[in-house]
Amino acid sequence: MLPTLVIGPWQVSTYQVTAGTALVLGGMWTFHRLIKQNLPPRLVLRGVVFMGVGGILGAYGMRNLINTSRAVRGGPLFRPEGLSITWGLASAAAAAVVYCRWKRLSLGKVLDAAALPLALALAIGRVGCFATGCCYGRPTESWLGLYLPDSRGMWTVRYPTQLMALGANLLIFAALIALERRWAQEPTGTRGLPFDGLTALLFFGLYSIKRFVLAYARQAGAFPMVGPFSWMHVSALIGLGLVVGAILRRIR
């Protein structure tokens, strides 16, 4: 929907620009937050790259695996799957687990450092989704509707789910910043997070709630899976359940 940038013999889509910007800014801020924990810069840099590459490979790998499976079962007219940020987040988290165990780092502290940059990066990335028309919403007559295309260029009044996700991610980002600042102002002796990993768990919990709610307005990728619930609903409920379970375990 937004223009493709032409630089000499190269063409770069707005989606690629925003996705690259989100990845670089998120990685740089995560690096800065981990360095403040007095970790060796080389160790941190390798870890940030390891998590970033793991997330990218996971997102593309699962997309290709799902599309291959659908092509085998449905033939050439199968319904293709697009990139899913859920698989990217899960893969990046798995890469963090592997790296932290390998280098004997605190997984909770590493994920806490990445939570805020990740929320901001996801907000920036949704600008790219809006630019390319992916992750589009359902047609609607609501006052929330905007005249927008889907990924095939079909224009109609639909929910601007990309912009709604952008706003929700910014709200999550602001909430996490406010909580971190509140904990930092606690009296001496109790200052800091109640336990390592809480910021990351709150991020994943709020992200799951956002994903569940937006699934009702989204059309792209929101195919029925269990009754009226799509894969977006189911994955959000699974994620939220894991977060609640982890928080209760740490509290006990």
User: Which residue ranges in the chain fall short of pLDDT 50?
Assistant: 188-190
pLDDT in tens, 24-73: 999 999 999 999 988 899 999 999 999 989 988 888 888 788 777 767 76
Task: Report how far residue 24's alpha carbon sits from residue 233's, in angstroms, rounded to the nearest whole number.
Answer: 30
pLDDT value of residue 189: 45
CA distances from 90 to 51, 86, 137, 152 (A): 10, 6, 24, 28
pLDDT value of residue 180: 86
pLDDT value of residue 99: 93
Task: Report how far residue 120's alpha carbon sits from residue 30's, in angstroms, rounded to the nearest whole number.
Answer: 11
Task: Report how far residue 93's alpha carbon sits from residue 58's, in angstroms, rounded to the nearest whole number.
Answer: 10
Task: Report how far residue 218's alpha carbon sits from residue 160's, in angstroms, rounded to the nearest whole number.
Answer: 9
pLDDT value of residue 228: 76
Strands (DSSP E) found in the chain: 5-7, 10-12, 146-149, 155-158, 224-226, 229-230
